[in-house]
Structure 1
Amino acid sequence: MGQKVNPIGFRTGVMLDWKSRWYASKKDFAELLIEDQKIRKYVHAKYKFAGIPKVEIERTRDEVKVILYAARPGVIIGRKGTEVEQLQDELQALVGRRINIKIEEVGRPELQAQLVAEDIAEQLVKRAGFRRTMKRAMEQTMEAGAKGIKIQLAGRLGGAEMARREKQISGSIPLSTLRAKIDYGIVEAKTAQGHIGIQVWINQGMFEDQADGADAQEGQTQKKPKRSYKR
């Protein structure tokens, strides 16, 4: 099951929040979903080197709030915020709604599976050895504090005639444990020999318990005192 289920989709709605947070009627739902996809595709295509692992979208009646998580936010912001204003205008022209952009910095890019996968893809396009690239990425991620990492490459590795699949695992990757914070990223490296698929799983630890301590304490049943029997 762990190989066939997207770890993020598996935990969304249970341990993870949704990346698109809005409500729409049945007739408008498909249109707004396509708008979200257009926004994400445009942002990723324009800022390939900004290191954007995810884009969250919130909608109100008046505007669309786009939250960009970036490892290098300076690339998006630009000098005196001119790039942000330009991006805001371009997105407004793209979807025809008022856009509000918020940028959040990613603290440790080595722990973001999508960014690790993109880094591996970039190295493979530059004709780096795939085993050395995988090993270096795993070492950097484990040094950054990850509990485990799994990398899988598929395609004509090393320019071989026949496509094959290779994977390396370090540490613990409990894919079926919902409380485990597993990040997942997938990228295609467009090499001269053909496309190589790159999948990365990173175990960032465990989700913190979300139960309210006071409520949990009130909900407990009181222990009855032990009955004393007289002889």
Structure 2
Amino acid sequence: MGQKTHPIGFRLGFSKPWESRWFARGREYRKQLHEDIIMRVKLKQKLFAAGVSSIEFERLPNLVTVIVRCSRPGIIIGRKGSEVNKLRDDIAAELGKPVKVLIDEVRDPEINALLVAENVASQLEKRIGFRRAMKKVLESALRRGAEGIKIICSGRLGGAEMSRTERYIAGRVPLHTLRADIDYGFTEAATTAGKIGVKVWIFRGERLPDSDTLSGEPVNAPSGMHGERDDARRPRRRPPRDNKDDARGSDRPRGGAKKE
């Protein structure tokens, strides 16, 4: 039975970068990986109001660089950089190493899958109808240039007794095409009826795994790459058969020559 592959993990190293970029051996690898996971969870909870889409870590022997990508960087930076300095000191105390914090603004939060999922979840928690919330973000993403979007909500939608799944799809979302720039986000809405899962896939055009991968420039696929057949690329192997010779009433003898 076919299963769903995580669209970001499927493209890691091809058209998607890793969120942790460093090298370590043995126990040091496990230690640093665990630190990244714990810090990512803590920072996501602490900076939730800033609309954080991703937190990346780069490590050198004596320096840890933390890259925070968010839609509202002013909340993290604060007045004259006071908040970001405090954040840097807190992370340095947690990791025990010098830390450098970089803030990168997400220009189009309407086509960032995680931020879209969090937007839908926040509306569900405010008792807004799930159909209205899903249609609103879907239309907004298409207006901002998304070529396709799929939204799935699962749970006790509308406070119903029995849980169910509702989905909306607009445009195309080619999950098996590696060069397709698919962004994926998942979150949960804590409603009075229980948890509601929200999944979002956004197709933002095609990219190749080179310098244009993260530049946002669309790439034109070569001829014959979208499933259409190119009849001019090679001749036919043999001419078409004559259907008249295959008819039952043919004069051609069957089963060898007739004996006299």
TM-score (norm 1): 0.89
**Post-superposition CA distance 1:130-184 (Å, at most 9, x none):** 0010000100000000000000000000000011111110001000000000000
Counterpart in the other structure of 1:159 = 159
**3-state SS in 1 of match to 2:52:** coil
Counterpart in the other structure of 1:207 = 207
The residue type equivalent to 2:56 in the other structure is: E
Give the 3 Å change call, closer, same or farther, for CA 3–134 of structure 1 in structure 2: farther
Give the 3 Å change call, closer, same or farther, for CA 179–110 of structure 1 in structure 2: same
Bigger Cα Rg: 2
Q: How many residues align?
A: 212
Q: Distance in 1 between matches of 2:156 and 2:189?
A: 11
> Does structure 2 conserve the Cα–Cα contact (< 8 Å) formed by 1:146 and 1:204?
yes
Q: Tell me the CA shift for residue 15 of structure 1.
A: 1.5
Q: Distance in 1 between matches of 2:12 and 2:46?
A: 27
Counterpart in the other structure of 1:86 = 86
Give the 3 Å change call, closer, same or farther, for CA 94–14 of structure 1 in structure 2: same
Q: Tell me the CA shift for residue 209 of structure 1.
A: 5.8
Q: Distance in 2 between matches of 1:210 and 1:184?
A: 21
Q: Distance in 2 between matches of 1:159 and 1:140?
A: 26
**Post-superposition CA distance 1:100-127 (Å, at most 9, x none):** 1001111100010000000000000000
Q: Distance in 1 between matches of 2:77 and 2:176?
A: 39
Q: Distance in 2 between matches of 1:110 and 1:144?
A: 7
The residue type equivalent to 1:105 in the other structure is: E
**3-state SS in 2 of match to 1:53:** strand
Give the alignment's Cα RMSD to 1 decimal.
Answer: 1.5
TM-score (norm 2): 0.79
Q: Distance in 2 between matches of 1:61 and 1:19?
A: 18
Q: How does 1:126-205 map to 2 (within 5 A)?
A: 126-205=126-205
Q: Distance in 1 between matches of 2:17 and 2:133?
A: 32
Task: Write 1 or 2 for the structure with the bigger share of helix.
Answer: 1
- Structure 2 unaligned regions, length at least 5: 213-260
The residue type equivalent to 1:50 in the other structure is: A
Counterpart in the other structure of 1:43 = 43
> Does structure 2 conserve the Cα–Cα contact (< 8 Å) formed by 1:183 and 1:202?
yes
- Structure 1 unaligned regions, length at least 5: 213-231
The residue type equivalent to 1:192 in the other structure is: T
**Post-superposition CA distance 1:29-70 (Å, at most 9, x none):** 111001101221111111111011111110000111000111
> Does structure 1 conserve the Cα–Cα contact (< 8 Å) formed by 2:14 and 2:209?
no
Counterpart in the other structure of 1:99 = 99
**Identity of paired residues, percent?**
49
**3-state SS in 1 of match to 2:165:** strand
Counterpart in the other structure of 1:63 = 63
**Moved segments of 4+, more than 3 Å:** none
Q: Tell me the CA shift for residue 210 of structure 1.
A: 2.3
The residue type equivalent to 1:85 in the other structure is: N
